[in-house]
Amino acid sequence: MKLDEIRAAEARLLLTTYDRSPVLFAGGEGVHLIDEKGDRYLDLLSGIGVNALGYNHPAIVETIARQSRALIHVSNLYYHEGQAELALRLTERTGLDRAFFANTGTEAWEGALKLARAYAGLRRSEGKEIGTKFLAMEQSFHGRTFGSMATTYKAKYREPFGPVVPGVEFVRFNDVADLRAKFSNEVCAILVEAIQGEGGVRPLTPEFFAEARALASSTRALLIVDEIQAGMGRTGKWCAYQHYGIQPDVTTLAKPLAGGIPLGAVLCTEEVARVMHAGMHGTTFGGGPLACAVGIAVIDTIEKEGLLAHATEMGKYFQERLRSLATRHESIIDVRGKGLMIAAELDSADLAKLTVAEMLKRRILINCTSETVLRFLPPFIVERAHVDAAIEALDEIFTEHAATHSAHAGGKLHG
């Protein structure tokens, strides 16, 4: 089917949940997607942080082929080789003790919220005074299922589906005083992203993160860190919280975990894990043989190819080039991020939207979040030449926009 035929079919058959760009992709190689005409697009979004190893990486392709011939699915009523092996790799790299595998990031987050409420219930049964309240952050994004949505800040995600799950209060981002004021024995967990993704690639300050850890520890509430976008090496460490030297009680992973095969994970301490017993939580598909095999391959490949160090190096280079660009274009008001999780904030939502569209015309894929923030989540295998191509395109777009804006201003002045 051609693009027009597919668009017409989707318009008839699908819920209108996506505002898709008019491109039909048919393949991919390395950091490039390939459309049905054979044109190549530099993907600096990597499927919104999923395709960490790019497209058609031999380690992923070969693992899928091998595992699919052996066993794709088996019920979690039985054992298979992959879950314990993948859990060992993840616990060793995150500093946590136990894992539960889900299908997606939002399901992993739901599991983390359930752990917090169950742990609070266990502690109440032991005579401790602790409530059921969650403290989440303003501008947070944790997913679209009901619990995840309730802990996601922006009203546009919550209000159409209200009433949402109760018991959530939002704290001003990086405001230590507000965190202290809202924390009490009623709180069972503090919920943070070490670096907010959908919220505009905004990192926690060390002071705020340390205070969240200290407050949670003071009552044995849980500190839960969402690493769904920032984790699995994107920031140059396995988890973004490792840049701060802070250990959470629970964390969640997903996006790049299995190289494009759906897989999420909840990781927790041994202390928290004691609340769970058979039948309290579960999943049909989560942690299946195929996804786990690919997850193992992704971790092993990241280490074998030195991609944590490469993400650090390329991230620094990308930010340096963006900051240099900002000296020439006053419309760029901030550049921030860590590793290959990078943002360039612009002074106008219209310009941000225009820039994404103009980059697409130049066959470079990025997106805009929080209205004014250009977000870059390239595959870990990105090279300097790819960064240079993006900077050249951005320079051209901003220069053209400034010239057009100046011409319009001049016309109004003379008129």
Per-residue pLDDT, 1: 78
Greater pLDDT, 415 or 256: 256
| Confidence check: pLDDT of 140 > 80 | yes
Retrieve residue 262's tokens. Answer: 């759906």
| Confidence check: pLDDT of 412 > 80 | no
| Confidence check: pLDDT of 312 > 90 | yes
| Cα(101)–Cα(288) distance, integer angstroms | 9
Element housing 327 (H / E): helix 307-328
Annotated binding site: 105-106, 141, 144, 226-229, 283-284
Domains along the chain?
3-56+306-409 (3.90.1150.10), 71-305 (3.40.640.10)
| Cα(76)–Cα(155) distance, integer angstroms | 37
Cβ atoms 87, 287 nearer than 8 A:
no
| Confidence check: pLDDT of 332 > 60 | yes
Task: Give the model confidence (pLDDT) of 336-345 as tens digits.
Answer: 999 999 999 9
| Confidence check: pLDDT of 334 > 70 | yes
- State percent of the chain over pLDDT 90: 96
Per-residue pLDDT, 209: 98
Per-residue pLDDT, 405: 75
Report the pLDDT averaged over residues 12-16.
96
Report the pLDDT averaged over residues 51-78.
98
Retrieve residue 239's tokens. Answer: 């988890």
Retrieve residue 73's tokens. Answer: 């699915």
Mean pLDDT score across all residues of the chain = 96
| Confidence check: pLDDT of 413 > 50 | no
Report the pLDDT averaged over residues 70-75.
98
Per-residue pLDDT, 409: 63
Annotated binding site for pyridoxal 5'-phosphate: 105-106, 141, 226-229, 284
> Which one, of 254, 274, 260, lies nearest residue 123 by Cα?
274
- Say if pTM beats, i.e. exceeds, 0.85: yes
pLDDT band at 346 (very low <50, low <70, confident <90, very high): very high
| Cα(67)–Cα(410) distance, integer angstroms | 64
Task: Give the model confidence (pLDDT) of 263-285 as tens digits.
Answer: 999 999 999 999 999 999 999 99
Task: Give the model confidence (pLDDT) of 181-219 as tens digits.
Answer: 999 999 999 999 999 999 999 999 999 999 999 999 999
| Confidence check: pLDDT of 411 > 80 | no
Per-residue pLDDT, 404: 83
Could you write out the DSSP letters of every residue in 152-197? ---HHHHGGG-S--S-EEEE-TT-HHHHHHH-STTEEEEEE-SEET
Annotated binding site for N(2)-acetyl-L-ornithine: 144, 283
Task: Give the model confidence (pLDDT) of 101-130 as tens digits.
Answer: 999 999 999 999 999 999 999 999 999 999
Per-residue pLDDT, 123: 96
Per-residue pLDDT, 135: 98
